[in-house]
Amino acid sequence: MPKNIIDKDKIKSALVSTAGQLVRAHSSPDEALGELFIDVQKRNIYGDGKVFVDLVPKLRPKQLRQAYLSEKNKPDFDLQSFISNNFTEKKIHQAEPYINGGRGIEEHIVALWHHLERRNRLDRGSLLALPYKYIVPGGRFNEQFYWDSYFIMLGLAANDDWDMIEGMIKNFAYMMRRFGHIPTANRTYFLSRSQPPFFSHMIRLLSRHKGKTVLIEYLPYLLTEYRFWMRGQSKLGKSEYQSYARLVQVSDGSLLNRYYDNKLTPRPESLREDTDTAGLDTARDPERLYLHLRAAAESGWDFSTRWFNSASGIASIHTADIIPIDLNCLLYQLEMTIAEAYQVLHQPILFNRFKKLADRRARAINKYCWSPVKNFFVDYNFHKQVPTDCLSLAGVFPLYAKIADAKQAAAVAHMIEKSFLKEGGLMTTLTESGQQWDGSNGWAPLHWIVIEGLRNYGYHSLADEIKRRWIATNKKIYNEQHRLVEKYKVTNGGGVGSGGEYPLQDGFGWTNGVLAALLNEDHHPKL
């Protein structure tokens, strides 16, 4: 068959193959280890709950449970020794081997890609096998994370490492075949939730290198991703349902999405933190609270006042009541990418179908998520049927997705320059709460979104100034401490970021990726 002829039968076969040949993974540690798991996490043996759930057991879960129950009440029993004898701890790779005061920051990033590279072809404890090599964020995050990976890929593209990019995309395709969606990362305890859906952006990035046939090759997986987020449409046809799983039907009948999770228990990697949060408001149903905490974890913004119902803090979290502006812009882009793939396939009916779905979503975003009072895009509380009060960098996603009008874009640009832009870059929100996705913390992925969004509407000077300040902050810390970290402080002279459930992490995948992509622009200016 000539190369320029599309094999539609092959595409149909691929669609069938991704439609649901799902394989059950090993149980999450909380399910597999029972009382042992609860005791270890509640006693805070490691200080960071993720350490224990990442250990590799030497025995089968049933044997471990039996051994624990038979030994725990003995007078000389020591829980730490029991863990050491029955689990293998994989060392966390830190960035210290690459500390070199004489190395430039771009050379440092290239060295870090090798340091952060992983490969595992067998399931080991909670870590799930993947067929290809991948890049991890770093520190405690020793897996292929979903939305982190797109920003890592930006840096890999700057280094022309397209084989790694394609391998990581194939890993995501593999996880969709195996689990029906892309989980937060390749861990058993992450399988009940996803993350911001950047898969279509990964495909578009690869298409820059390989051409638009990539859209056709990965169309079955784009559709699998879409089905995951849109699951429950038949339920919403019944009057008693306003929301189901990740899908919400708003008052005019439009379908929008929210973050969600399929479980109502504490997150295994943060059991102590979640149960402590539940203890802050004993009048609240703990299962509903755990759902909202898990949904915030799916958002990637864990945690932020975006999800809080009041200034009282995290105990008021209600993520699943909110239609997030960023999520719906990403799903608009997914719908547009699917439409374009069908256009390349010369399927006008299917192209028009997904184009109409995207157009309807764009109209709904503008109707429900634009605040004429704030003059900015915000999230929407569909239970109360009102926009939320929180101003955050998520409000720039409509510019990134190109669905804002010129007047809205001007208002957003003005707000960014007036309120969010500080000496060291962009604040995540305008609220100082102590949560890591708030206040003076600046994050690499959000800087990329804002810079690209502003460029889409011609605000190049502002985008360049944000870029300049963000690069300067990264370089300042690198020159002082010879490391790149997950988040930075952008006020009061700048520094490393703070807040969150764990210590600041070095590495760091998406910081490296965005910084490399921005620095590469200076070497290869856009026309």
Residue 310 lies in a domain: no
Contact 514, 155 (CB under 8 A): yes
**Are 485 and 442 spatial neighbours (Cβ–Cβ below 8 Å)?**
no
Other residues' Cβ atoms within 10 Å of the Cβ of residue 491: 16
State which H helix or E strand residue 425 sits in. Answer: strand 425-426
At residue 85, the pLDDT reads 96
Write out pLDDT tens, residues 492-515.
988 999 999 999 999 999 999 999
Burial class (CB in 10 A: 0-12, 13-18, 19+), 311: exposed
Q: Are the CB atoms for 72 and 34 separated by under 8 Å?
A: no
Residue that the structure tokens 């405690």 belong to: 140
| DSSP symbol at 404 | S
Q: Which uninterrupted H or E stretch holds 442?
A: strand 441-442
DSSP-derived letter for residue 138 is: B
Say what angle helices 61-71 and 35-42 make with each other, to 10 degrees.
70
First to last CA, the chain: 37
* Positions in the chain whose pLDDT score sits under 50: 1-5, 16, 19-20, 94-97, 527
Q: What is the 3-state secondary structure (H, E, C) of 182-245?
A: CCCCCEHHHCCCCCCCCHHHHHHHHHHHHCCHHHHHCHHHHHHHHHHHHCCHHHHCCCCCCEEC
What is the overall mean pLDDT for the chain? 93
State the Cα–Cα distance between residues 162 and 164, nearest whole angstrom: 5
Q: pLDDT tens for residues 142-169?
A: 999 999 999 999 999 999 999 999 999 9
pLDDT of residue 84: 95
Asked if the structure places residue 455 within a domain, the reply is yes
Q: What is the dihedral of CA 245, 388, 362, 176, to 10 degrees?
A: -30
Contact 444/452 with Cβ under 8 angstroms?
A: no
With H, G, I as helix, E, B as strand and everything else as coil, classify residue 46: coil
Distance, in Å, from the CA atom of 354 to the CA atom of 336, rounded to the nearest integer, reads 7
Closest CA to 194 of 202, 203, 185: 185
Within a domain: residue 116?
A: no
Does 447 map to a domain? yes
Burial of 80 (0-12, 13-18, 19+ CB in 10 A): exposed
Q: Which domain holds residue 417?
A: 390-527
Cα angle: 4, vertex 6, 11; to 5 degrees? 150
Residue 19's pLDDT is what? 45
**SS3 category, 13:** helix
User: How high is the pLDDT of residue 20?
Assistant: 46
Is residue 446 in some structural domain?
yes
Please, what sign has the CA dihedral across residues 473, 479, 481, 483?
A: positive
The overall pTM is greater than 0.85: yes
Is residue 414 one of the residues assigned to a domain? yes
The answer to the question of residue 163 being in a domain is no
Q: At what angle do helices 444-456 and 146-158 cross, to 10 degrees?
A: 70
Quote the Cα angle for 427-432-433, to 5°: 125
**Predicted confidence (pLDDT) per residue in 379-410, tens digit:** 999 999 999 999 999 999 999 999 999 999 99
In a domain, 514, yes or no: yes
Number of domains in the chain: 1
The token pair at 300 is 């990637």
Secondary structure class of 381 (helix, strand, coil): strand
Residues taking part in catalysis: 302, 486
- Burial of 345 per CB tally in 10 Å (0-12, 13-18, 19+): middle
